[in-house]
Amino acid sequence: MRTIKEIPKTERPREKLIQYGPEKLSNSELLAILLRTGGKGEHVVKLAHRILSRFPAGGIAHAEHKALANCRGIGPTKACEI
């Protein structure tokens, strides 16, 4: 499992946002920027992708805090930030 630091800088979400703008990032990459860190054995982009898969079709915008907080790797603080 690669960590975010093992991904070339030009492919990291924050650097891509700065270089190319938000329209060039996937939803997973945009969410990864908000989350900042992943969990044990899961880098932040993979965590973001898993969360978006759990709440498809924009469902994350309407998800309850408890539902987000119960996702592995999220917790109450990241659920508030989302």
Q: List, for residues 28-50, the tens digit of each pLDDT value.
A: 999 999 999 988 888 899 999 99
Residue 78 confidence (pLDDT): 94
Residue 1 confidence (pLDDT): 52
Domain with 71, as residue range(s), is 4-81
Alpha-carbon distance of 33 to 30, in angstroms, equals 5
Tracing tokens 């992943």 back to the chain, one arrives at 38
CB 47 within 8 Å of CB 68: no
Residue 4 confidence (pLDDT): 74
Alpha-carbon distance of 34 to 30, in angstroms, equals 7
Helix, strand, or coil (residue 34): helix
Beta bridge partners of 42: 39
Instruction: Write down the mean pLDDT value for the chain.
Output: 91
The DSSP secondary-structure symbol of 43 reads -
Q: What percent of the chain has pLDDT over 70?
A: 98
Tally of domains within the chain: 1
